[in-house]
Amino acid sequence: MNTKAFDTNNTYIEVQNVDFFYGKKQVLFNNCLTHRKNSILALIGPAGAGKSTHLRLYNRLFDLHKDRHAQGAVYIDGINILDQKYDLIKLRKNVGMIFRQPTPFPMSIFENIAYGIRLHYKLTKSTLAERVRVALETVLLWNEVKDRLNGHAYKLTPAQQQLLCIARSIAIDPELILMDEPTAEIDAISAGKLEDLIGTLKKKYTIIIVPQNLQQAARVSDFSIFFNDGRIVEAVPTNQLFTNPTNKQTEDYITGRSV
Amino acid sequence: MKAKSLYQRRLVNFIMLSITAGCALFSFLVLVMLIIALCKNGYPALTKTFFTALPAPPGVDEGGVSNALQGSIKMILFSALIGVPTGILAGLYIGELARNTRKADFVLNACGILSGTPTIVTGLFVYTLIVIPSGHFSGFAGITALTLIIIPVTARITAEILVQSSTAMREAAFALGASQWNVTFFVLLRAVRSGLASAILLTIARISGETAPLLFTALNNNYEADSLSQPTASITVTIFQYALSPFAERNDIAWGAALLLTLFILAVTLIARYTGKPQYLSRPLR
């Protein structure tokens, strides 16, 4: 098993021997990987392989469910965030997350973004408005919504809602952004634009994405992890994964044979 | 195997459709007849005196129900003011803060049993709890009985609405680094507020029609109660007593009060239906 195939210099994330359990059922087995800053890591593999579960390690979202727990260590910038003493609010300010389904809150476009900012910063009205504008500009949504910031977020199209969620995430200045099939519920043209956006975001953020399909992984990611049955089978630079997979299971998956 | 004839299938379809449509028509007709009877008998009683005068002695015209109107409004208002917030907070605990714990399950079951309890039992309970020790019927006792009916219903509805609300939205709020209370109050409660408001209005409509618990607690009063520690008249108890009265003018007033109550409940129900349109329905379809 080759889990440290790529660059370990400049390590930003290091996952060491992580096991994960739903109640007594183990779903992740001995996950190990490293990832560097300002690059995009794609988690690929068949449905039920544990990609989304693995993704939720980084912001400890599994903590919402009492029956779920993880063992091992996940270091982000040298700090083990699985340590129970590590502050969840601090962690989640630093690690944003985008979900499969757009999740705008039941409030105006402006308030959606301001909500997150207010959780972590005390700002004057004008600084807050400025920050909302910058976030919306970053995701290229500003021009479409600048005249209706007080309009309800539910009135936006699904693609716009997803961009709003990304804006809400980056408005609180995270370092790492997790994306769980962010284009699954939006139309193909908007999905293409969102992929382009993800490409530009990596200049400032580190991104871990569960892509919607293999093509998306090939288009957006720098490195790929191939998951199967909760185990990391292969970790390689994405271009190498598609052109020259070293592992038989990976090759079978990529070429469409059953794993 | 012989195929069923098309004729036979159409016939069965026609018969079943007719039966269901017939039952629907029947229940609708009952409602229409009820409203016609109420309007015919009740409308003439709704004069200015009806709203402004106190009850007249038996056999005398010119009586009204101003005391009962005032009593009902007070008791419904106060019980809603105490019961609704308590119920919502209890529902938040069951449905969100202590979600899926044994404590929450226990309280939820208790609320289920309480909201299924016949209201006359609640009336009797308050009778033994407040009326007997204090030695007299009172508006307070009436408010207590109505509040005890509101709390479990509101708590259960709140919990159920919260449990059905979007898991993704919950996760998204937590993923931003929000604390439990912040997620609960500013995101979840906000997301369900219209559904919740309509459910609460329906609960208020329901308690407005309660008679049994008030008979044992607030009873009645021929005058306007000066304070809530006195027996207090209500529209429902007035309907009950006047409808059984041998005097024709009292029967008329009972019809009028029944029409008024029905119109009130109808109005509240319609408002509830209007406000209850869940916000997610206004999301663009895809």
ipTM: 0.90
Other CB atoms within a 10 A radius of the CB of residue B280 amount to 15
Residues of B in contact with A93 (CB under 8 A): 176-177
pLDDT of residue A258: 66
Q: Give, in order, the Cα–Cα distances in Å from B264 to each of A226, B255, B270, B275.
A: 64, 14, 10, 16
The beta-carbon neighbor of B176 closest among A101, A116, A157 is: A116
* Residue B164 pLDDT > 90: no
pLDDT on residue A4:
45
**What does the pLDDT look like over B201-215, one tens digit per residue?**
999 999 999 999 999
B25 Cβ contact partners less than 8 Å away, ≥ 6 residues apart: none
Q: Among all chains, which residue has been given the structure tokens 């992929």?
A: A195
Sign of the CA dihedral running B20, B26, B29, B30: negative
Q: How does residue B194 score in pLDDT terms, banded at 50, 70 and 90?
A: confident
Question: For residue B284, which residues of chain A lie inside 8 Å, CB to CB?
Answer: 154-158
- Chains A, B: CB pairs < 8 Å: 77
Q: Is the pLDDT of residue B75 over 70?
A: yes
In this prediction, residues B39-60 reach a mean pLDDT of: 90
Phi-psi region of B283 (alpha: psi -120 to 50; beta: other; left: phi over 0): beta
Q: What is the chain A residue with the closest CA to B286?
A: A158
Q: What distance in Å separates the CA atoms of residue B181 and residue B193, rounded to the nearest whole number?
A: 16
* Nearest Cα to Cα of residue A223 among A39, A96, A13: A39
Owning domain of residue A142: 11-254
Does A90 contact B at CB distance below 8 Å?
yes
pLDDT of amino acid B286: 35
Does the pLDDT at position B45 exceed 80?
yes
Q: Is 90 exceeded by the pLDDT of residue B165?
A: no
**pLDDT at site B279:** 47
- What pTM, to 2 d.p., does this model score? 0.81
What pLDDT sits at residue A255? 83
Q: What is the rounded CA–CA span in Å between residue A142 and residue A152?
A: 15
Among the partner residues A97, A101, A158, nearest to B175 by beta-carbon distance: A97
Residue B284 is predicted with a pLDDT of 39
Total number of domains in chain A = 1
From first to last of its 259 residues, chain A has per-residue pLDDT tens of: 434 444 446 789 999 999 999 999 999 999 999 999 999 999 999 998 999 999 999 999 999 888 899 999 999 999 999 999 999 999 999 999 999 999 999 999 999 999 999 999 999 999 999 999 999 999 999 999 999 999 999 999 999 999 999 999 999 999 999 999 999 999 999 999 999 999 999 999 999 999 999 899 999 999 999 999 999 998 889 988 888 888 888 888 888 876 6
**A259 in a structural domain:** no
Antiparallel, parallel or unpaired: β A231-237 and A223-228: antiparallel
Of B147, B152, B186, whose CA–CA distance to B170 is shortest?
B186
Direct distance between the N- and C-terminal alpha carbons of chain B, in angstroms, rounded to an integer: 44
Kind of pairing between the strands at A176-180 and A95-98: parallel
pLDDT tops 60 at residue B282: no
Kindly indicate the confidence band of residue B281, based on its pLDDT and cuts at 50, 70 and 90. very low
Cβ contact, residue pair A115, B176, below 8 Å: yes
Q: Token match 């309907």: residue?
A: B239
What pLDDT does residue A5 have?
42
Name the residue with tokens 């509830």: B272
Nearest 10 degrees: Cα torsion B98, B103, B106, B108: -20
Residues 194-253 of B with CB under 8 A from A: none
Selected for mutation to probe chain B from A52, A53, A58, A64 (highest B CB count within 10 Å) is A64
Between CA B277 and CA B155 the distance in angstroms is 20
Residue A2 lies in a domain: no
What is d(CA A168, CA A136) in angstroms, rounded to the nearest whole number?
8
pLDDT of residue B142: 96
Lowest mean pLDDT among A28-32, A63-67, B30-34, B139-143: A63-67
Please state which CATH number belongs to domain B50-56+64-282: 1.10.3720.10
Beta-carbon contacts of A133 under 8 Å, excluding residues fewer than 6 positions away, are: A142, A146
Residue B280 binned pLDDT confidence (cut-offs 50, 70, 90): very low
In a domain, A1, yes or no: no
pLDDT cut 90: percent of chain B above it: 72
Q: What is the rounded (10 degree) CA torsion for A170, A173, A177, A180?
A: -40
Chain-centre distance for alpha carbon B2: 55
